[in-house]
Amino acid sequence: MSPTGLTPIVRSVESLAPAHSTCTSCHTSATQHYEREIIGFSDDLSTVSFYERRYYVFDPIKTTGSLDDNITVINAPFAALGSIIPKLVDGLPLPPFFSSLPYRAVNSFLESHKQSLFVNTTVRDLLFGYKLDILDTAEGFAHTLSTFGIDDFMPREFFPNNSFGVLNGRNGTLDGPFEVYTGLAGTQDDFGAFKSWKNQSRLNWWKADACNAINGTDGTIWPPFIDKSKRLNFYVPDVCRSLYVTFQEESELKGIKTYIYSAPDDVMNGMETNPENECFCMNDKTDHCRLDGVYDMSACQHDIPIIVSLPHFLGGDKRITDRIEGLKPDPKLHRSVIHVEPTLGAVIHGDSKLQMAIRVPKNEYIRGFENLDDDLYIPLFWGYKVCVGDRTRRSCQIGYF
């Protein structure tokens, strides 16, 4: 037990199932299909624009347990308040001796909605969404403030339909438009790379152009004749940034010679270990920007402190891992690997793995956060995606633990 009285527990190598659960090794599997709707080509045929939809089809055969298994997990929306509320309060024009009044109102508000740091739910609701009445109330409050000309005090919407779920609002949802280089009209070296996403050639969440750059492809193909001395860049909308992989070794898959690539630790290391990541840190006065093995997405998630890492915090800072019982990070199990056919530049097999966690900050004024002695990183789930390309579509098998 940590000094905070709160210790996250990982039950097994295969599972991030919470301590209080009827599902001791929950694994939910689904097939993910991509569909692209072509918008058109540029006049010189150098780029093609399209929308993309992703569909998730539940796979009961490869699923352990049931979608209706009961689980107790971190209440992500409630945990997010520990980061969001202080920023909102700091923006109020209140004299110092009145600074505690907003927190009293917040505590009364949370108690009236019976909110706490953990929530009892089912696997189904965690994946596909459960309704949050508290957000309906908050949304109404935001609209009331708007009538008085106060529009920037709080977000109008935190989650789609004021529901929280891993796949909430994503099944069949249109993303884009994407504009990608075709390799024609002198763009051979940029074949497959993004020119723009949602009509923007760069992102606007981060502090500098290097972090806002939309680099590389979608991670399924690169220009032909791969140079293994260079890293391969790709942009991932789900994590609001570009990533990269580096060459590991030559291999063979189903009789095809391949290059194996994997993401180095530097991709998610803190700004002191990897200065390239400094521009992802929106508040360099906080220690969490200096932690290795984690990436804070809050800047693109309405300040909700969603943390991306490798499963079981593989490569994570000891200040995180030493406070969680049962972690068993294993590079063979938890590191992403892709096989690239070097002549065509095509991915013929991809096995990507990521973990989502919530950073719970200490806050002496909000009930439920006051006993923490430091920020606590609580895993929500980790997932894998195994993709095999064919000539007609891109199909992936995904799973959540």
Query: What tokens were used for 357?
Result: 């966690």
Closest CA to 182 of 170, 171, 194: 194
Q: Span 278-283, mean pLDDT?
A: 90
Q: Span 25-38, mean pLDDT?
A: 79
Query: What tokens were used for 275?
Result: 């200065």
**Tell me, what's the pLDDT at 3?**
41
**Tell me, what's the pLDDT at 360?**
87
Dihedral sign for Cα atoms in the order 294, 384, 207, 155: negative
The top-scoring range by mean pLDDT among 83-97, 143-157, 183-197 is: 183-197
Closest CA to 119 of 156, 110, 365: 110
**Tell me, what's the pLDDT at 387?**
65
**Tell me, what's the pLDDT at 350?**
86
Phi/psi of residue 35, nearest 5 degrees: -130, 135
For the chain, the three-class secondary structure string (H helix, E strand, C coil) is CCCCCCCCECCCCCCCCCCCECCCCCEEEEEEEEEEEEEEECCCCCEEEEEEEEEEEECCCCCECCCCCEEEEECHHHHHHHHHHHHHHHCCCCCHHHCCHHHHHHHHHHHHCCCCCEEEEEHHHHHHCEECHHHHHHHHHHHHHHHCCCCCCCCCCCCHHHEECCCCCCCCCEEEEEEEECCCCCCHHHCCCEEEECCECECCCCCCHHHHECCCECCCECCCCCCCCCCEEEEEHHHCEEEEEEEEEEEEECCEEEEEEECCHHHHCCCCCCHHHHHHCCCCCCHHHHCCCEEECHHHCCCCCEEEECHHHCCCCHHHHCCCECCCCCHHHHCCEEEEECCCCEEEEEEEEEEEEEEECCCCCCCCCCCCCCCEEEEEEEEEEEEEECCCCEEEEEEEC
**Tell me, what's the pLDDT at 26?**
63
Amino acid sitting at position 42: S
| pLDDT above 90 for 113 | no
Closest CA to 48 of 173, 156, 196: 196
Question: Mean of the per-residue pLDDT values for the chain?
Answer: 82
Q: Span 312-325, mean pLDDT?
A: 91
CA 387 to chain CA centroid, nearest Å? 18
Closest CA to 377 of 326, 330, 308: 308
| pLDDT above 80 for 158 | no
Query: What tokens were used for 162?
Result: 């004021």
Q: Measure the CA–CA gap between 351 and 329, rounded to whole angstroms.
A: 17
| pLDDT above 60 for 274 | yes
**Tell me, what's the pLDDT at 151?**
57
Per-residue model confidence as pLDDT tens digits over 210-263: 999 999 999 999 999 999 999 999 999 999 999 999 999 999 988 999 999 999
The percentage of residues in the chain with a pLDDT greater than 70, rounded to a whole number, is 81
Amino acid sitting at position 347: V
Prediction pTM value: 0.82
Q: Span 62-71, mean pLDDT?
A: 83
Per the model's pLDDT, the better-predicted residue between 278 and 1 turns out to be 278
Q: How far is CA 87 from CA 147, 307, 345, in A?
A: 21, 18, 46
Q: β-pairing, 174-181 with 163-164?
A: unpaired
Q: Where are the domains of the chain?
A: 67-169, 202-400
Residue 352 near residue 385 (C-beta atoms within 8 A)? yes
Query: What tokens were used for 262?
Result: 């994997």
**Tell me, what's the pLDDT at 254?**
86
Query: What tokens were used for 271?
Result: 């700004």
Q: Span 160-184, mean pLDDT?
A: 86
Which of 133-147, 243-257, 261-275 is least confident?
133-147
Phi/psi of residue 235, nearest 5 degrees: -105, 135
